[in-house]
Chains A and B, each alone.
Chain A
Amino acid sequence: MDHTEQEARRAWFRREILPLEAELRGYIRRLTHDPVAAEDLLHDTFARIIAAESWREVDSPAGFAIRTARNVVYDSLRRQKVVAIDYVADVGVFGLADDTADPETALVARDELKRLRAIVEALPTQQRRVFTLRKVYGLPPGEIAERLGLSVSTVEKHLVKAVRACADALARDDLPPPKRSPWAWRRQSEKR
């Protein structure tokens, strides 16, 4: 495969697959009911999708992504020698189609800035300062290092930790509304 072909495949992945992250996470969680395992399986699902040579023939990226996720989950269950006989969970496949046409997109976009800001505010102090200078002011790592009296590699480490924390925070927020009773204590206890 030549370079442009590779880039076309990655662009497809960015455009069609990455926006499905929250739905895929929700789907895998409904199958496994284990948030940590779900992140592992989501990671594997993305790896399997981006490697798909036949991506041009995919009619429905959402359907393709869901099928891939299901295969990844079932393969993992087989490895663990636990036989999944859960047919109820497949209901989740139909839930996805409804989710894609989202009338609240505009509302979400308006709240995006507020939400990103809240995530940054919650970062540990040094990560937050470095990240602010990089993202709000667009300063390069070298200049941030000078201003804060740090080495460039320390600045990079803070940035990497900050991105990972931000990704995890977005993942938590992006969860489809949980089908829970009114008590929210479980999620609170996980945050501590």
Chain B
Amino acid sequence: MATAERETVREAAASWAVRLSDPHLTDETRAAFEAWRAASPAHEAAFERERAVWDRFDRLRALRPAAPEPDPDLLAPRPVAQPAMRWAAAVVGAVALSGIGLWSVNASPAYATAVGERRLVVLEDGTRVELNTDSKIVVRYRAGKREVKLVRGEALFEVAPDAARPFVVAARDRRVEAGAAAFNVRVQPRAVQVIVARGQVEVADTTPFGAVEDEARLAAGVMGLYGEAGGVAQPVTGARIDQALAWRHGQIALNGQTLEAAVEEFNRYSKDRQLVVADPAIGGYRLGGYFRVDDMAGFVRALQTTFPVKATAEDKTIYLSAAG
């Protein structure tokens, strides 16, 4: 059932749960409810769910005070002091960390991962960088600027806020500048891909005659692709972002990608074996599912049981071709 339709049914079900609990319920209302419920199992099931929620909140009666006059604001949100405390702790932490940072003023530390490896790096300001397979960053922090060069591969940045020092990721000929944001940058053969999960970033072209990008400011939920010919950006769903970032959990998410594209993904994570689509006739199959990045064999097995595809191993290469 489509989302809008599902919500309509659930709302109708909730409405019946509310009205049926009214002590002044009339026979006509009751009959109208029976007719609605009998119309489809979706109605019947939705009603059971909403009424279960409705009944569950009867427990709130335990909160009823002795005072005779009902107070509609009895459950008004209570002020909490905690967030301020958390901020204080965060500031203390940042001060302590920047003190340590002074020792390494002139250093440009580099961090890298091997093929198939992932790594979390926490920088001196608290910024977290998660590196995907075969990736490398060089960190250059100095007064007034925090710059990280993504030399190769893919990384997710969760930037620690610092109004005085903007955070910049340089990836090939693009600069991605951010305040407090979480975003993923991937260096692809012919483009740089940027996905913003939280906050916003600005993308700039650093080539001497670089054009001003049409869509230079990316908000949360936007994916941008930047190549020699310019950039394109478009909003994507949360699910799509989760899929693009499935690597953080050691997974490859396929959601309608071609076999060709899926094979490229698996090859990124594998150092001793590579897949090759030897037969263009099968390269266009579209796949769905989640796989472990290190389970190329499982992927090939699943492929062979689902499609007319055969796999032939030769030295360190597995050739995929049409079966029969």
Contacts from A to B (Cβ < 8 Å): 10, 13-14, 18, 21, 33-37, 39-40, 43-44, 46-51, 77, 80-89, 112-113, 116-117, 120-122, 128-133, 135-142, 147-148, 156, 159-160, 163-164, 166-167, 170, 179-181, 183, 185-186, 188-190
Contact = CB atoms under 8 A, between A and B. Distances in A.
Contacts, number: 212
B288 A120 contact: no
Given A14-B52, A50-B41, A128-B75, A83 B288 contact: yes
Given A33-B253, A185-B198, 16 more contacts: A13-B48, A14-B52, A34-B237, A36-B239, A47-B44, A77-B288, A83-B286, A84-B289, A120-B75, A132-B60, A132-B72, A139-B70, A163-B14, A163-B53, A185-B158, A185-B182
Given A33-B290, A116-B57, A135-B61, A46 B49 contact: yes
Interface in B1-26: 1-3, 6, 9-11, 14-15, 17-19, 22-24
A179 B42 CA distance: 31
A39 B302 contact: no
Main secondary structure of the interface of A (DSSP, over half): helix
A164 B14 contact: yes
Given A47-B42, A140-B22, A88 B290 contact: yes
Nearest to A130: B72
Contact of A166 (B57, B76, B248, B253): B57
The 6 closest A-B pairs by CB, nearest first: A86-B289, A51-B41, A129-B72, A34-B239, A46-B45, A47-B42
A109 B286 CA distance: 46
B73 interface: yes
Contacts of A84: 288-289
B307 A160 contact: no
A117 B60 CA distance: 7
B6 A121 contact: no
B148 to A, nearest CB: 18
Q: Contact size class for B?
A: 35 or more
B289 A89 contact: yes
17 contacts: A10-B44, A13-B45, A18-B52, A40-B1, A43-B10, A47-B46, A85-B289, A88-B289, A88-B291, A116-B60, A136-B70, A136-B74, A147-B70, A160-B11, A166-B53, A167-B49, A189-B198
B117 to A, nearest CB: 15
B36 to A, nearest CB: 14
A163 B42 CA distance: 18
A82 B76 CA distance: 48
Nearest to B302: A85
Contact of A36 (B3, B253, B302): B3
A156 B18 contact: yes
B249 A179 contact: yes
A86 B40 contact: no
B23 A140 contact: yes
Contact of B1 (A43, A89, A112): A43
Interface-centre pick from A39, A48, A132 (highest chain B CB count, 10 A): A132
Contacts of B158: 183, 185
Contact of A85 (B15, B74, B253, B303): B303
B46 A43 contact: yes
Interface-centre pick from B14, B23, B78 (highest chain A CB count, 10 A): B14
A89 B265 CA distance: 19
Contacts of A130: 72
B75 to A, nearest CB: 5
A181 B248 contact: yes
B220 A85 contact: no
